[in-house]
A and B are shown apart, each in its own frame.
Chain A
Amino acid sequence: MEVILMIMFFTSFWVAVGKFGPILVTKGPHDDLVRCIFLLTAVVCWLFWLCCYLAQLNPLLGPKLNGHTIRIIAKSWGNPIKDG
């Protein structure tokens, strides 16, 4: 569920950029160029985000951490190591 919401959120964000971005620029002789620029920006940025998101969606392997790192993470990221 969270995944779908995230994808929808970012997709709608970049759609908004592509569609309404050109409004931010004052009208000029190069309107179609401005539209093209915003559209392309939106497409590449969205796709780049999506690829990164999907690549991590279903990890096939987990990060292999060094003992030191684990202890530091446990302390500073609020993820205490269980006793035992």
Chain B
Amino acid sequence: MGSLFRSEEMALCQLFLQSEAAYACVSELGELGLVQFRDLNPDVNAFQRKFVNEVRRCDEMERKLRYLEKEIKKDGIPMLDTGESPEAPQPREMIDLEATFEKLENELREVNQNAEALKRNFLELTELKHILRKTQVFFDESVPTVYKSSGAYSSSKYRRYPQMADNQNEDEQAQLLGEEGVRASQPGQNLKLGFVAGVILRERLPAFERMLWRACRGNVFLRQAMIETPLEDPTNGDQVHKSVFIIFFQGDQLKTRVKKICEGFRATLYPCPEAPADRREMAMGVMTRIEDLNTVLGQTQDHRHRVLVAAAKNLKNWFVKVRKIKAIYHTLNLFNLDVTQKCLIAECWVPLLDFETIQLALRRGTERSGSSVPPILNRMQTFENPPTYNRTNKFTKAFQALIDAYGVASYREMNPAPYTIITFPFLFAVMFGDLGHGAIMALFGLWMIRKEKGLAAQKTDNEIWNIFFGGRYIIFLMGVFSMYTGLIYNDIFSKSLNIFGSHWHMSYNKSTVMENKFLQLSPKVDYEGAPYPFGMDPIWQVAGANKIIFHNAYKMKISIIFGVIHMIFGVVMSWHNHTYFRNRISLIYEFIPQLIFLLLLFFYMVLLMFIKWIKFAATNEKPYSEACAPSILITFIDMVLFNTPKPPPDHCETYMFFGQHFIQVLFVLVAVGCIPVMLLAKPLLIMQARKQANEEVQPIAGATSDAETGGVSNGGSHGGGGGHEEEEELSEIFIHQSIHTIEYVLGSVSHTASYLRLWALSLAHAQLAEVLWTMVLSIGLKQEGPVGGIVLTCVFAFWAILTVGILVLMEGLSAFLHTLRLHWVEFQSKFYKGQGYAFQPFSFDAIIENGAAAAEE
């Protein structure tokens, strides 16, 4: 198996497949997922390819399956997901599948149509039922009043219907109806009041009423009653509220007008007999019909349910099958047909290590299809850049993703991912160092890792969760390293552990302690002589007055130490790249001066820090006492600028060791001398080599000199096009090189400073944790008595929420981003080009996963 340190070696292969065997072979390769096919007919329209028809049929099948899925989801039937992936069916099975789906779809559609018709019928009947029931009340109360009005002849009674009569035309109304009343009172002459009854959506009712009033000039009489139970709309299954209305009017003209308005407002009118006996009879009929309908409807639903349950068992399986067939035909469309039409020709990228596996798969495919001619897999020569393929597992995948997010590595370039597995969580932990917060994070990561299978099986669309779950190993490692750095910082929720016993002891007597508010322990007297064995001495955590001063000095130094080492590590990486690509010219004239520059200036500074730690002590005599300790930063600035250092205090020395001044001058001169080497040596050598090549009589294209390959492979030659790359212009090489050099030299300074973010974030984290402790939790801890217990519980909950929400989540996120930057910019800029393109093998697993994800959106 290939290692993660470099991407796999790839080969471009030509694949000859017999037409009959092609389908089976491609299906086998899809199961394997190790081959990336190239499109051999890029200029052919998607509709003119060979297997368009099949692809279209698959699309159609997929559509039908989606329809089925929608219906199944509507009914809330659970779909069986065994998680297994059936093999791609034979092409002839496609017809069977199509027939099955067709039958299912038609059946379902028919059932749905019937159900809809039945429901509509049902709705009409229920509405009619309601009309009959409600209007009964109207008739009961309004008919007698009409008769009564004939006798009473008074207008007062019409005031009962204020919607009909406002004060102005009340009298007119009274007269109008009164006349009718008079006529009606005469025997044999009925009151000729017509009426219509119907049902309307409740929200349309006010507008409807107003319209009626205006259009009929108040000459109609409307009564309405709500239907309490919502009714189901058969077209979309929504629940709607409706009202029953009945309109009384006089004359045909008004009748047509009223009917028009009803039509306009989509009110459904129902015939309603005038005689009470007829109405009763009708109501009876309606009730029986509703009952009949209910039974039929129930049977229809049962049938639909049965069909869907049967389909739900196989649905996922069918989806997989159809997607596989589609993927195969899609791939076959990329192939070329050979002249005899007997053979399909494919071109593909293949990892060299898997050559055998692929051939085996091809053989299996041929056997399955029953073809006698074996497929031929031929390696081809190419000048194209192969794709980058890093074989990852579940552990390394997330780290590789971090790297790929910056840029996919150039082919066979050093892959930073394996080193990132440790350096990333470590640098994160330097900023996040807290035993308690680290433990929370590590436990969360560990829980996700332990429940990995269960959590992976329940796929969710929750993007944040998916990010966390994908990075579970990173989270776990970040947590574990944070616990370690937290132990070293001796910081757990902003408090310290005193495991080994502090190595500082007080020698003050009582009166001194009583008199002074602050007392500083003396490093000469109160210090044991050997430091606390593991991590920070706990005394510093309680040294409220100068804890930060001490911590700053310490954390700034470690930031620079780790930063410089990290950068040197990056430069050494470039040595691996240069030797691998046999790029001697870059190795000598780029790598060596770069390394010297970094070592002589910045690593020297790191060494000075160690010297200062070891040589200067409070217990020492001058010139190595604490008062004489020089500032490293000032020393470094003086060194680079050739300044004369300030005169030291009495009996101290300017320099830390003998010959320091000479060494510093030498170092700076050599480091500065490296710059022109980086800048000019490579372009000049390339220029010289080209001149020589021109002078030689036979210009053989293949025999490029060392210098040229170096120049060409270094200078933006990763266009990815075919054939030989053109030689770069000399001026371009110069410009490129000068940019590179300037970037490196200025970068060394700014990147070193950039690592100070390790200090800044770690300081911020520690301070925030402390603020949270003193401002929140200690309030709860100071309470006394039983009430204090309750207060403490509440305060603790608040503190815990803030700890997890702000310190672990938000601070964790910010530290994560800063770590990412340190890796992408400060580390990878030293060696990583990242100009490759990713290997995307034809794999059923990936296709089905993507298909499922796309369908759920």
| A residues whose Cβ falls under 8 Å from a Cβ of B | 2-3, 6, 29-30, 32-33, 36-37, 40-41, 44-45, 47-49, 51-67, 69-71, 73-74, 77, 79, 81-84
Contact = CB atoms under 8 A, between A and B. Distances in A.
A6 B503 CA distance: 14
A63 B558 contact: no
A77 to B, nearest CB: 6
B572 interface: no
B508 A70 contact: yes
Interface in B486-539: 488-489, 498, 501-502, 504-511, 513-514, 516-523, 526-527, 529-537, 539
Contacts of A41: 422
B327 to A, nearest CB: 29
Contacts of B614: 54, 57-58
Interface in B144-181: none
A45 B483 CA distance: 12
A81 to B, nearest CB: 5
B506 A73 contact: yes
A29 B4 CA distance: 11
Given A48-B488, A67-B518, A77-B501, A61 B550 contact: yes
Nearest to A49: B488
B618 A82 contact: no
B778 to A, nearest CB: 14
14 contacts: A32-B5, A33-B5, A37-B418, A47-B565, A49-B535, A56-B532, A58-B619, A61-B523, A63-B547, A64-B519, A65-B543, A66-B517, A69-B544, A79-B505
B405 interface: no
A64 B520 contact: yes
Given A55-B557, A82-B507, A62 B521 contact: yes
Most buried by B among A6, A40, A65, A69: A65
B504 A62 contact: yes
Contacts of B554: 51-52, 55
Nearest to B2: A29
Contacts of B423: 40, 44
B597 interface: no
Interface size class of chain B, counting residues whose CB lies under 8 Å from the partner chain: 35 or more
A52 B626 contact: no
A17 to B, nearest CB: 12
Given A65-B519, A67-B519, A60 B626 contact: yes
Most buried by B among A3, A48, A59: A59
A48 B504 contact: no
A29 B3 CA distance: 8
B533 A6 contact: yes
B484 interface: yes
A36 B523 contact: no
A84 B506 contact: no
Given A44-B423, A47-B561, A63-B521, A56 B534 contact: no
B506 A81 contact: yes
B543 to A, nearest CB: 3
Contacts of A65: 518-521, 539, 542-545
Contacts of B539: 63, 65, 73
B787 interface: no
Contact of B422 (A40, A77, A79): A40
A59 B523 contact: yes
B421 interface: yes
B67 interface: no
Most buried by B among A32, A49, A62, A64: A62
A44 B428 CA distance: 12
Given A33-B3, A74-B506, A79-B505, A60 B513 contact: no
A68 to B, nearest CB: 9
Nearest to A2: B530
Contact of A79 (B489, B506, B527, B558): B506
Given A62-B526, A64-B520, A69-B544, A81 B3 contact: no
B557 A63 contact: no
A56 B537 contact: yes
Most buried by A among B396, B430, B507, B521: B521
B565 to A, nearest CB: 8
A63 B546 contact: yes
Contacts of B513: 67, 70-71, 81
Contacts of A45: 484
Contact of B617 (A29, A58, A63, A69): A58
| Pairs A-B, 5 closest by C-beta atoms | A58-B617, A63-B543, A64-B545, A62-B521, A56-B531
A35 to B, nearest CB: 10
Interface string B680-703: 000000000000000000000000
